[in-house]
């Protein structure tokens, strides 16, 4: 059983929930998603965390009334080995937490560094993270929540999940400042590193939850089983 804390501040949180459900089916792992809206809900029984993509400024604002972000940061400091997945704005929140806090990643990140919204793009990225294989579960057979989100169609190669290519969806994405990266690269687009692993903290500048490829979500659940 894995209890995943999912930050519900703003952004692609429902899509992450769906991807987690799919990944848990693929791994045949019992899953509980704890939707986190307030700092009070963050407890020691969470096995891992997901910080979704969206708009990091909006997330910081949304966090203010219920102090969710400070509670998540304290949780990460208290349980440094527990896995965390931050995607896009989530990666920004890991690399640039509140004023006084140090980054959770040995890398700096630059917001909106690919350009504006209209410069968003999709491209295959090469992944080197070792992810557990899972039973085949097609996106269509995954139970959806009330938002009935439909994952983006992905190419054949990606659906088979056999190779190192991953369908990268970059939406007004940040970029890691390449010269600042002092942890393990796990995903790259051409020469550029777009995913990093620092300890058990995985930060991606793209959106795996918008695709039907659940390798990163399987990694999170698998790591949670290993570390707890």
> Is residue 111 a contact point for ligand GLN (CB under 6 A)?
yes
Q: How far is the CB of 166 from ligand GLN (least distance, A)?
A: 16
> Is residue 97 a contact point for ligand GLN (CB under 6 A)?
no
Q: How far is the CB of 227 from ligand GLN (least distance, A)?
A: 26
- Catalytic residue, candidates 18, 48, 88, 149: 88
Nearer to ligand GLN, 173 or 203 (CB): 173
Residues 145-174 that bind ligand GLN (CB under 6 A): 171-174
For β-strands 84-87 and 48-51, DSSP reports them as: parallel
Q: Is 113 helix (H, G, I), strand (E, B) or coil?
A: coil
Q: Closest by alpha carbon to 137, among 17, 28, 3?
A: 28
Q: Is 14 helix (H, G, I), strand (E, B) or coil?
A: helix
Q: Is 208 helix (H, G, I), strand (E, B) or coil?
A: helix
For β-strands 121-127 and 109-110, DSSP reports them as: unpaired
122 belongs to the catalytic site: no
Angstrom distance (rounded) from CA 23 to CA 181: 29
Q: Answer whether 35's CB lies under 8 Å from 81's CB.
A: no
Residues 40-59 that bind ligand GLN (CB under 6 A): 53-56
Q: How far is the CB of 105 from ligand GLN (least distance, A)?
A: 15
209 belongs to the catalytic site: yes
Residue numbers of the site for ligand GLN (CB under 6 A)?
Answer: 53-56, 88-89, 92, 111-112, 171-174
Mind telling me the catalytic residues? 88, 207, 209
């Amino acid at each position: 059983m894995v209890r995943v804390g999912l930050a519900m501040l703003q952004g692609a949180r429902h899509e992450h929930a769906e991807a987690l459900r799919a990944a848990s089916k693929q791994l045949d792992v019992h899953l509980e998603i704890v939707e986190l809206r307030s700092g009070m809900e963050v407890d020691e029984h969470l096995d891992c965390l997901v910080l979704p993509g969206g708009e990091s400024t909006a997330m910081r604002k949304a966090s203010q009334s219920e102090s969710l972000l400070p509670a998540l940061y304290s949780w990460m400091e208290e349980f440094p080995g527990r896995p965390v997945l931050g995607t896009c704005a989530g990666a920004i929140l890991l690399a640039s937490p509140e004023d006084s806090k140090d980054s959770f990643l040995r890398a700096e990140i630059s917001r909106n560094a690919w350009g504006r919204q209209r410069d968003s793009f999709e491209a295959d990225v090469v992944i080197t993270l070792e992810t557990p294989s899972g039973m085949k579960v097609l996106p269509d057979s995954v139970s959806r929540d009330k938002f009935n989100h439909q994952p983006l169609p992905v190419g054949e190669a990606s659906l088979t999940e056999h190779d190192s290519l991953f369908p990268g969806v970059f939406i007004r994405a940040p970029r890691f400042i390449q010269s600042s990266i002092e942890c393990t690269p796990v995903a790259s687009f051409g020469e550029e590193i777009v995913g990093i692993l620092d300890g058990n903290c995985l930060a991606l500048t793209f959106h795996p939850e918008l695709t039907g490829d659940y390798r990163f979500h399987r990694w999170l659940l698998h790591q949670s089983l290993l570390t707890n």
